[in-house]
Amino acid sequence: MHKLNKYKSRRDFLKLSAMATMGLATPFSSMSRMRAMNSMLPAPPFTGYKAIVCLFLHGGNDSYNMLMPKSGTPYSDYQATRSNLAIDSAEMLGIESDNFGLHPSMSNAQQMYTDNELAYICNAGTLIEPVTKQQYLDGVAPLPLGLFSHLDQFNHWQTALPGTRTNIGWAGKVADLIGDQNGNQFIPMNVSLSGSNIFQYGANSSECSMNSSGPVLPTNWDATWGHNPQRRAALDSMIHRSYDDMYMGTYNSIFRDAVDGGQDFQAALENSYDFATPFSGHYVSQNFEMIAQTISVQSDLDFQRQIFWVRYGGWDHHDELLSDHQNYLSVVDAALGEFNSALKEIGRFNDVTTFVVSEFSRKLTSNGNGTDHAWGGNMMVMGGGVNGGSMYGNYPSLALNSNPQLVHNGTLIPDTASDSVFAELAMWYGIPVSDLISVFPNLGNFHDMMSLSTSNPPLGFMKLL
Amino acid sequence: MCVVFSCMLFTAASQVNEVYFGAGNLTPVDVTTSDDHQLYSGTFTASGINSVNGAGMPARQMEASRFLAQSTLCYDREMIEDVIDWGVENWIDSQFVIPPSYLLDSLYSIYDQSKAIWIANGNSEESYPFRPNHVHMDYTWWQVSVRAEDQLRQRVAEALSQIIVASLNSDLNGYSYGMGYFYDLLIEHAFGNYQDLLQEVTRSPAMGVYLTYVNNPASDTVEMTFPDENYARECMQLFTIGLDSLNLDGTPALDGMGNRIPTYNNDDIAEFAKIYTGLSYADRIDENDPYWGMGIWSADLTIPLMMYEEYHEQGQKNLLNGFVVPEGQTGIEDIEDAIGHLFDHPNVGPFVCKQLIQRLVKSNPTPAYVEAVASAFNDNGSGVRGDMKAVVKAILLHEEARSCTWVNHPDQGRLREPILKQTQFTGLFEPITPYEGKYWNYSYWFQSGTDMHPMRSFSVFNFYAPSFTPNGPLADEGLVAPEFGIYNSRTSIGYANQVYRWIDSERLLQSSWYEDNYHMPADLSILLEYAKDPDALIDYLDVILTNGQLTDQTREIIRSTLLPYGLSINNLVSKVSLGTYLFLVCPDYNIIK
């Protein structure tokens, strides 16, 4: 029998904060005190529900074999440059009147593109400010730190601060800004299916971690055998006391919120939607299924905004690109298709935007049977809120000669900044334009912040009006 | 010394005695009982004459236990007695002369043994890893470091490993002998000189791989490639001087406008990057000759990197504050000059010492504490700079580490690192069923639950930043608590579930699939006797785990949980399981004051 946390919503919390003066479960963190203060103000209007899902392909997705030219000179350039790694035009799944094609593994993506549910953003990458090829070669432009290093680039996509190394991510900053407007204040706005990450870590926020079975709770929390019930009772008692010592109090409040929040979550998931859509057994699909289940109970849990994180590792295809990449892309394609279908079952397809990124794309030229680290690449965005069926940014020339974006024999300098993509997602999510610069400090290097608005967005791939 | 007089293990006939003991008064007092009363059958009775002279008093044991929690990876009851008998400073001196326990040789022998077991169990040699990997390194750390006699040295090495970071979560993953060579440098120089440590680390293949300066060539103005700046940056930012100019007491130095003063800029990094060029592997593990640009897979990662002069950047290098590395030197001379120059920077003492205090003692040392230790770093008393022994003594003997006044100060405290909780528990309740004498522990489950294990940092920035502050009263007070950087909704429960594993799942230590996941339970049998009386059990655990810091509130919860259980063996086991679990999970234990 699950004990639902007695403060399920801010309304209940109002009652409890009045009781706090009686020495009962005193809210400990200043976040709690801020909530208590907020309760005196009118609740800011959060209409409806929105979620962002980040699927991070860790290792470097060779995205010029995910979206490539299918005909004409662009295709011949592609074939020539990619040599033994080029996919034959006849195998590609055509889009844009067969001017472009998708990897043969991505039939769901092709369907979604045709249905205007999925968009591509071309040659996007981490930038501090725009860089031309000449500036790059002259060494006069500031460049992201550790430009071809997995760890640095992986972090830069999460922090939106490629000129520094920091542990604060942009989803964390978003949570800092608006997380306290969620009805549920005991489970964080940010949910990770793949453990701790920088993306969701803010100054005042961190992620709630789950795996594909749901939130982690103390072992045998519900067990009735042995001395488990006694353990639970003692622990429950211990974590609901207050501690004068600052360090002990902090340790305790985090533990307490984790247990209380986790129980609530698990209880809510008991009533999650029974999807007709079958999800594949691969962990990426399983994680998406858990996300879909979580979204299906967002009302019970009183969430209006959530950001999810899934990391899919293993993309560093220095070797065996063709065979491995095919398998990895089909996993992604399956998961996206399944998630798309499940969201439609619960009427949330317009409310959830999924974006798929990787820390860098890979060199166009082959190293024999694989490719090495590069920079600008193609990313996907999927959802009912997306102006799908279009390619945004500039699809670059893939020719080796006279290529204005190409350096190092196969690396493309991005001409769309990851910041631009993130900022538009954040705008859709509900972050005011005036707050964007605090989340994406470099954004002004790419856009005139004074004229940026929902009718003049960075790229136009989201339905903002 | 703390004055705490807590209840004894036997019941004495009630009698008012005017002679004081404790408070420095060690005059023995004989206590006799009017009968041979026993609360329960077992070891402890009230019979006989018991001389109470302070030696057996919990207070001294608590203090010794607390000291050992600052100065070791783990300790046992015997070590507690040694500290009481010899005193803290003598114990430290005795630790200084114990020969160091190194990892690398043991790593090879553990690999060989593990492989032999694998084959003896009917598996093929080809299916076994080709070379020692991260599993063998885990085994080695647990077999050697955790069980070493030179505990103080091992603890200091572990602390240094969180400042000068290299990790198996990198290209070093399948090459743990490189990691072993590197970690042995930390062990060797933990009681040596910090400059020697820096110089040898810079030449180590593991660091060259980790911070990507192996095969890092000089500038090429034709191809427009420039030296890799990774080590240039991180060596300054993390291993020596940090980002901002510091006073001797660790506080930031400010300019006339009240702003911090950066220690270096991007141009400086580019200059330093020139220094760390030309290094590559000095030998191979096969018969062939090493060559510039070769990969890691056949490199000998256990000897210093070699300078390939033709790839070293020539010319003068202008480093910080007008320091010049002249042209015409060898690459190694350039490196020695540059590292020496950084070592001499006044920031190094406060920057490094404050972090060592944070790892051993407390998260928020006062400026006076930092200054005392940094002064010892600057001059050990005999004119030597960088003497680690002087630093270690200054940290552990300082009143902020030792005195009762400070123990009770509200700003005092440190969230114990996850790994130190597992090692401490292992030391106190060491398994008696090792796998043929092998305490081979695979870190996978522990890491998954707590996000931490030695040599497994996710980046060169360690598991947590020295300046991390968790939201709440600590932030309000301007205090830091680095270890909270990895303590969140998942790892809080994750750690508790590790404790469950150690105790109820009987998996304090567990090997990997190579040894069929052989698991070793903690030996909690000594607690069964205490468990006959819940107060006795709680008192005992309060000595060795919470060092006398158990609050009444927590004591009452544990007590009321244990009281309903009786004296049958099952009930005793339940009391021991519940008692130790609740102790290990309670805030009173997890924060060490």
pLDDT digits (tens, 9 = 90+) for A258-271: 999 899 899 999 99
β-strand pairing of A67-69 with A377-382: unpaired
Mean pLDDT along residues B528-550: 95
| pLDDT for the residue A79 | 94
* Closest CA–CA distance from residue B464 to any residue of chain A (Å): 9
Cβ separation of B472 and A216 shorter than 8 Å?
no
Report the share of chain B in percent with pLDDT over 70: 90
* Cα gap B562→B574, rounded to integer Å: 8
Closest CA to A412 of A124, A65, A119: A124
| pLDDT for the residue B23 | 52
* Cα gap B496→B589, rounded to integer Å: 12
Tokens of A448: 């005139």
- Can you say how many angstroms the Cα of residue B364 is from the centroid of all Cα atoms in its chain? 17
- Contacts with B484 from chain A: Cβ below 8 Å: 250-251, 254
Mean pLDDT along residues B526-536: 94
Question: Worst-scoring range by mean pLDDT, A25-34, A151-160, A381-390, B472-481?
Answer: A25-34
pLDDT tens digits along A407-423: 888 899 999 999 999 99
- pLDDT value at A390 more than 70: yes
Q: Which carries the bigger pLDDT value, residue B12 or residue B569?
A: B569
Cβ separation of B489 and A217 shorter than 8 Å?
no
Query: Which of these CATH numbers, 3.40.1000, 2.40.50, 1.10.3470, 3.40.720, describes A10-212+279-445?
Result: 3.40.720
| pLDDT for the residue B58 | 85
Cβ separation of B591 and A31 shorter than 8 Å?
no
| pLDDT for the residue B32 | 57
- Contacts with B475 from chain A: Cβ below 8 Å: 30
DSSP structure string for B356-374: HHHHHT-SS--HHHHHHHH
SS (H, E, C) chain A: CCCCCCCCCHHHHHHHHHHHHHCCCCCCCHHHHHHHHHCCCCCCCCCCCEEEEEEEEECCCCHHHCEEECCHHHHHHHHHHHHHHCCCHHHCEEECCCCEEECCCCHHHHHHHHCCCEEEEEEEECCCCCCCHHHHHHCCCCCCCCCCCHHHHHHHHHHCCCCCCCCCCHHHHHHHHHHHHCCCCCCCCEEECCCCCCCCCCCCCCCEEEECCEECCCCCCCCCCCCHHHHHHHHHHHHCCCCCCHHHHHHHHHHHHHHHHHHHHHHHHHCCCCCCCCCCCCHHHHHHHHHHHHHHCHHHHCCCEEEEEEEEECCCCCCCHHHHHHHHHHHHHHHHHHHHHHHHHCCCHHHEEEEEEECCCECCCCCCCCCCECCCEEEEEECCCECCCCEEECCCCCCCCCCCCEECCCEECCCEEHHHHHHHHHHHHCCCHHHHHHHCCCHHHCCCCCCCECCECCCCCECCC
pLDDT averaged over every residue in chain B: 90
- Secondary structure letter of residue B257 according to DSSP: T
| pLDDT for the residue A1 | 27
Give the nearest partner residue to B471 out of A31, A165, A252, using CB atoms: A31
Using CA coordinates, name the residue in chain B closest to A226: B574
Cβ separation of B465 and A167 shorter than 8 Å?
yes
- pLDDT value at B19 more than 90: no
Cβ separation of B479 and A246 shorter than 8 Å?
yes
| pLDDT for the residue A320 | 66
Q: Which carries the bigger pLDDT value, residue A445 or residue A212?
A: A445
| pLDDT for the residue A145 | 82
Instruction: Among A191, A197, A246, pick the best mutation site for testing chain B contact (most B Cβ within 10 A).
Output: A246
| pLDDT for the residue B332 | 98
* Closest CA–CA distance from residue A234 to any residue of chain B (Å): 6
Q: Which carries the bigger pLDDT value, residue A249 or residue A148?
A: A249
Quote ipTM for the complex.
0.91
Residue B33 DSSP SS3: coil
Q: Which residues in B101-245 belong to E strands, given as ranges? A: none
pTM of the model as a whole: 0.82
Using CA coordinates, name the residue in chain B closest to A152: B459
Closest CA to B149 of B94, B212, B215: B94
* Cα gap B74→B395, rounded to integer Å: 18
Question: Worst-scoring range by mean pLDDT, A100-114, A225-239, B17-31?
Answer: B17-31
Cβ separation of B574 and A151 shorter than 8 Å?
no
- pLDDT value at B55 more than 80: no
Question: Worst-scoring range by mean pLDDT, A168-177, A196-205, B221-230, B515-524?
Answer: B221-230
| pLDDT for the residue B20 | 52
β-strand pairing of A93-95 with A416-417: unpaired
* Closest CA–CA distance from residue B32 to any residue of chain A (Å): 38
Using CA coordinates, name the residue in chain A closest to B465: A167
Neighbours of B397 (CB within 10 A): 13
Burial A199-215 (b: 16+ CB within 10 A, else e): bbbbebbbbbbbbbebb
What's the order of all strands across the beta sheet hosting A100-102? A67-69, A100-102, A93-95
pLDDT tens digits along B96-113: 999 999 999 999 999 999
Q: Where are the domains of chain A?
A: 10-212+279-445
- Contacts with A196 from chain B: Cβ below 8 Å: 451, 486, 488, 490-491
Using CA coordinates, name the residue in chain B closest to A260: B489
Neighbours of A62 (CB within 10 A): 29
pLDDT tens digits along A300-341: 999 999 999 999 988 877 666 788 899 999 999 999 999 999
- pLDDT value at B87 more than 90: yes
| pLDDT for the residue A105 | 97
pLDDT tens digits along B160-207: 999 999 999 888 988 999 999 999 999 999 999 999 999 999 999 999
pLDDT tens digits along B292-333: 999 999 999 999 999 999 999 999 999 999 999 999 999 999
β-strand pairing of A50-58 with A352-358: parallel
Using CA coordinates, name the residue in chain B closest to A230: B561
Mean pLDDT along residues B488-506: 94
Number of alpha carbons in the 13 Å side-chain half-sphere of residue A230: 21
Tell me the count of A-B CB pairs closer than 8 A: 156
- pLDDT value at B506 more than 60: yes
- pLDDT value at B384 more than 60: yes
Q: Which residue has the tokens 């209409």?
A: A47
- Contacts with A250 from chain B: Cβ below 8 Å: 470, 472-474, 481, 484
Closest CA to B201 of B187, B215, B219: B187
Give the model's confidence band at A59: pLDDT under 50 very low, under 70 low, under 90 confident, else very high. confident
Cross-strand partners of A209: A192
- Contacts with A165 from chain B: Cβ below 8 Å: 461
Q: Which residue has the tokens 């809120």?
A: A385
pLDDT tens digits along B259-303: 999 999 878 988 999 999 999 999 999 999 999 999 999 999 999
